[in-house]
Amino acid sequence: MAPVSDLVWSVGRLTRDDRWETLGTRGATVWFTGLSGSGKSTLAAAVEERLVASGRPAYRLDGDNIRSGLNIDLGFSPEGREENVRRVAEVALLFADAGLIALAALISPYAKGRGRARALHEEAGIRFVEVYVATPISVCAQRDPKGLYARASTGEISSFTGLDHPYEPPTDPDLVVGHHLPLAEAVERVLEALGEAEAPQTH
């Protein structure tokens, strides 16, 4: 592996502003965080559908999907979880720089890792919106769409976030979405939180 000091960033012929102006779009990242079963992926998928239907290019970076390919080599130790977040943040930044709305939906349990994801975008001048899907663990365990809580309760799964592994809730997210909120309304709130990157209305 080449030392970082030996690497030189390759500058293309297009600036970000040129790309965005030509494509008629502005990139951004929406970061959905919350416990397993909180509804992150469901909400991100609905937002993606709404954005694309409105003519706004968007792509969902789901935690399980990313771990099935790019991050298949990572485990669930604290270090593995942090590296998972770091890689997704870097990929989201590339997508956003290209003019897409990147929708990252992963537990991302540590405040430090989410903070680094935000800082990475802010340093690059890319909009970053943190959405905390604040579903109580009792509700997540009741839903248990993947059967993970049941397996964790019997000891089949260890280091499960929210049970025997910590989850650090955001203290100052851009948006908090409660589990009681209807999906359609939650989507609207995410679009509102995007501000200037909000999906244009169709006529």
Q: Which residues does the annotation mark as catalytic? A: 108
Closest CA to 114 of 165, 65, 170, 66: 170
Tokens of 46: 């609905």
Separation between Cα atoms, residue 39 and residue 192, nearest integer Å: 19
**Per residue, what are the HEC states of 134-199?**
ECCHHHHHHHCCCCHHHHHHCCCCCCCECCCECCCCCCCCCEEEECCCCHHHHHHHHHHHHHHHCC
Q: How many CA atoms are closer than 13 Å to the CA of 36, on its beta-carbon side?
A: 19
Answer whether 170's CB lies under 8 Å from 33's CB: yes
113 alpha-carbon distance from chain centroid: 12
Q: What is the CB neighbour count within 10 angstroms for residue 16? A: 17
